[in-house]
Structure formats: C-alpha cells, structure tokens
Structure 1
Amino acid sequence: MTATSIRPRDRRISPVFLGILAVTAVAGWATWAGFAAQPGIAVFLFVTAAWIVSLCLHEYAHARTALHSGDISIAAKGYLTLNPVKYTHALLSIVLPVVFVIMGGIGLPGGAVFIERGRIRGRWRHSLISAVGPLTNVLFAVVCTAPFWLDALDGVPADFRFALAFLALLQVTAAILNFLPVPGLDGYGVIEPWLSHQVRRQVEPFAPFGLLFVFALLWLPALNGAFFDGVDAILSALGVTDLETYCGQNLYRFWQETNTFCSVSR
C-alpha cells in the first residue's frame, strides 16, 4: 500500500469530528448573537468544542506528515479521519486537556497518534513530524487573534471577543508546552533524532512522565507566574489584552460568580 492507494474510508472525515465542528459553529453563533439566556454556557460550549477541534487537527498534522514521510500504517489506524475516538490515548489527548482547560485555563498538550518510526528515513522527517503538531496550535492562535491584530473588532460582540481571546490563550499555552524539549512532548521529538543513541536510551524511561513533570512545575507559583507572563506578552503582541483573556475565562467558567468588571466591559 502507498499513500496514493489508501482506501477512501480510511481518509473520510469522521461524523464524530463533523459533529464537534457543528457544535463549535452553533455555539459560536449563539455567543455572537447573544442567543443563550446564560452567555457563559454558549461560551463554554464554543471554546470547549473549538479546543477539541484544534486537538484533532494537531494529531491529524502529526499523522498526515508521518504518512507522507513513509509510515503508511497511519491510514489503517483511522488517524486521517480526524476521529478522536481512534486515537491511541484518547484520555491523554482529549479528556485530560479538556479537564485542565475547565480547571485552570491551561492548554494541556496530549499525545495520541502511534507512529511507526522505523518506517521513516531521515532525521529531518522525524523532526518535522513532531513539530507540525504544535505548529498547528500556533496557526490556530494566529487565526483566533486575527481580529485583534488586524484591528477588525468593530461590530464584534464583547462575549465573542472574550471567547476568542481565551481560546487564543489556550492555543498559545499548548504551543509553548508542546515545544518544550521534555521527553514525551513534541519539543523533545524535534531534537531526539539529532541526539546520540546512548542519550536517547538514557532518556527514554522518563518519556511517560514528562507531561506530569511539566504540569507539576506549573504548580510552583514562581514558574507559573513566569510562564503566564510569557503567554501574556505573546498575546499582547498579537493585540489581545489581559482583560480580554481574563473575561473570556470568567465567562467560560459560568458556574462561578461572574466578575462585575467584565460585565461592565461587555
């Protein structure tokens, strides 16, 4: 089998993904139009569904690049259908990232697609396969912040603007965390092909715990503050203010008491 001889059903977009995309569109419209009686519910559905869409595209980017780099087994595993159910670790790739968004507003990276690296030749290809995932988050962040850095916010409802700001924050945090050169994350996957065999063997046992290690570090107040200062600086350069991301998260967590300052700003 070659990349051009893949069965149509192996590349057909999954109804599951289309359903998530539909929820994103409907909830986005409800947020824009102010249709929902409780604006926070619409924002919650819109941001959560859009976040899952970005996770699916992140993993699709890995899979598609691996396919064209020589791993034709990708198609049979269902990774090209954008169906999150097909992922090797659905818990890590979908469930936990959504939970951490709800809990703390952090775009937690996941690890889902299983790539048969032995089928792929060339260090640059291995690095590219790892890099395209977080680069997808970067692209998503650029799209979300486009109305801000293009000064095209006239007529954009405040709730929708806040939702986009919070969604952009999630994408930026996901991109930064994923690019960290920590075993188990995409950043390490980028540099791993260039390391010696001995170093890779020594680091390999720590890969399953890399993400937990990073998350534990983010619980330290000093590191957490430095991390989000960097995130805020990036968003500020893209035209998104701290107030907009704060109000977006405030709306997203609708079950908490709404901040009056955000209500006045709307």
Structure 2
Amino acid sequence: MEFFERLFSFLAFNLEDLPYVIITLVIAFSVHEFAHAYVAYKFGDPTAKNEGRLTLNPAVHLDPIGTLLLLIAGFGWARPVPVNRFRLTNPRLGGVLISLAGPVSNLLLALIGGAFQFFILSIGSDGMAMAMLYNFFYMFTFLNVVLFVFNLLPLPPLDGYRIIEDLVSNDVRAKMTQFEAYGTIIFLVLVLIDPLYEMTIGPILRNGIGFVFTNIQYFFASLFLG
C-alpha cells in the first residue's frame, strides 16, 4: 500500500478515498450539467438537447482534462453545456436560472448525501460495508458542497459569473464580455498561485464550504441522532 501511496502522491486526495471521489465526481458533474441542459430546454433552447446533453450519461458530460486536474490539483471542470440565449423565451430570467441550476443540483446532492450519511449512523450497524458506505456519503456530501460553493464564485467561467452577467444591464454585460478572456486568466492565476489564492478566493471558499457543510451535518445529525 505504501508503494501505491507514493506512486499516486501527486493526487489531491488520499489514495484510500479515491474510489469515493471518482464515483462522486462522475455523479456530481453529470447531474450538474444535466441540470443546466434541462432548465435551458424548459426555457425554449433545445441546443443542449440536440447535442445529446439532456442526459445523465457521464460519457457526454465529463471532460478528461478537467476531471484529471480535479484529482491532481483539487479543481477542474466538466464539458460546458451549450446555451443559445437568443432562443430562450425569457433570456434574462432563463439565463440566471440556467446558471443557478448547476450549483443548486450539487446542493441537493449534498443534502441527499447528508441524509444517507446520518441514516447509516442512526441504524447503528457495524462492519466494514457500513463503514465504507458512511465514508462514501461523507465524501459525497463534502465534494458536492465544494462544487456548490466553488461554482458560485463570481469569476469567469464559473456559474456565479454567468448569473451576474444576466442580472446587469446590457451595456455592462457587453463590457464584461470584452474582458471575459482576461477574467478567465485571472481566475486561473488566483487558483494556481498559492499566495494569491490565500489572499483572495481561498478564505471565501473555506468559509463558504465550512458554513454549508457544517450546517448540513448539524441538520441531519439533529434529525437522525437527536
């Protein structure tokens, strides 16, 4: 085991947690992108549906490089769902809800994971199988909270930025579009350079993730364990 731990030491997660992480990310990314596609379709844009993205099939949603980077660096991405704003019945409202659908889907998955996590504790079953199930749902809950908070950051190309883009006036939106490419570069710099990360989005992420995750844990602990 020590040999494999050294071999895979570049991974952002412990080797023993890797199966839980992979399963969680496959589900979380697929549901996230499906949610975008579904809301877009409901608002009149069939672009994602026509490209086969209105599905929970992971094969059409996962980006190989984005998934690999998530395992190695702790951040990554899935394939973005194509949206044609000109085909939306209500472009401004539709745009906001389409962008919001992805993070909200991860929050719902986190709630489901938390419920199963504390249900397992409440029935008090021992054994390796139950311990593995508990560890999986703990990781499932935590990673979906991470994706929920992370995607709400107001930086391109994240959903939080898209939400702001649809809330501002058309003039401001046009100016944001002009600088979007630079914003993406700034985002990558902030994520990849530790001192800048710790001075900017690092504390926001830690506090946001801690707040949401702790409250999910507290809620279901109170519900199932009293």
Is this a same-fold pair by TM over 0.5? yes
Q: CA deviation at 1:211?
A: 5.1
Q: SS at 1:188's partner residue?
A: helix
Letter in 2 for 1:182: L
1:66·1:115 contact (CA, 8 Å) conserved in 2? yes
Tell me how far apart the structure 2 counterparts of residues 207 and 85 of structure 1 sit (CA, whole Å): 28
Q: CA deviation at 1:209?
A: 5.4
Q: Quickly say closer, same or farther: Cα 1:180–1:226, change in 2 above 3 A.
A: closer
Q: Deviations over 1:172-211 (max 9, x none)?
A: 1111121122232211222322312221111113434545
Which deviates further from its counterpart, 122-131 or 109-118? 109-118
Tell me how far apart the structure 2 counterparts of residues 141 and 120 of structure 1 sit (CA, whole Å): 29
2:23 aligned with 1:49: yes
Q: CA deviation at 1:86?
A: 3.7
TM-score of the aligned structures, taking structure 1 as reference length: 0.62
1:149·1:238 contact (CA, 8 Å) conserved in 2? no
2:69 aligned with 1:99: yes
2:122 aligned with 1:152: yes
Tell me how far apart the structure 1 counterparts of residues 116 and 171 of structure 2 sit (CA, whole Å): 48
Q: Deviations over 1:154-176 (max 9, x none)?
A: 22633432332223222111111
1:115 is matched with 83
Letter in 1 for 2:211: A
1:63·1:113 contact (CA, 8 Å) conserved in 2? yes
Tell me how far apart the structure 1 counterparts of residues 181 and 111 of structure 2 sit (CA, whole Å): 30
Q: SS at 2:122's partner residue?
A: coil
Q: SS at 1:238's partner residue?
A: helix
Q: Quickly say closer, same or farther: Cα 1:185–1:69, change in 2 above 3 A.
A: same
The one of 121, 133, 139 aligned to 1:166? 139
1:235 is matched with 213
Tell me how far apart the structure 2 counterparts of residues 177 and 206 of structure 1 sit (CA, whole Å): 21
Which deviates further from its counterpart, 183-192 or 221-230? 221-230
TM-score of the aligned structures, taking structure 2 as reference length: 0.72
Q: Where do 1:68-217 residues align within 5 Å?
A: 68-87=42-61, 91=63, 95-100=65-70, 102-106=71-75, 108-122=76-90, 123-148=92-117, 152=122, 154-155=124-125, 157-208=130-181, 210=183, 213-217=186-190
1:109·1:178 contact (CA, 8 Å) conserved in 2? no
Q: Quickly say closer, same or farther: Cα 1:230–1:180, change in 2 above 3 A.
A: closer
1:69·1:120 contact (CA, 8 Å) conserved in 2? yes
Q: SS at 2:69's partner residue?
A: helix
Q: Quickly say closer, same or farther: Cα 1:124–1:186, change in 2 above 3 A.
A: same
Tell me how far apart the structure 1 counterparts of residues 52 and 198 of structure 2 sit (CA, whole Å): 41
1:127·1:190 contact (CA, 8 Å) conserved in 2? yes
| Structure 1 segments unaligned to the other structure (5+ residues) | 1-39, 241-266
Tell me how far apart the structure 2 counterparts of residues 186 and 55 of structure 1 sit (CA, whole Å): 13
1:23 is matched with none
Tell me how far apart the structure 1 counterparts of residues 104 and 53 of structure 2 sit (CA, whole Å): 18
Tell me how far apart the structure 2 counterparts of residues 222 and 113 of structure 1 sit (CA, whole Å): 31
Q: Quickly say closer, same or farther: Cα 1:222–1:126, change in 2 above 3 A.
A: closer
Q: CA deviation at 1:212?
A: 5.0
The one of 198, 210, 215 aligned to 1:221? 198
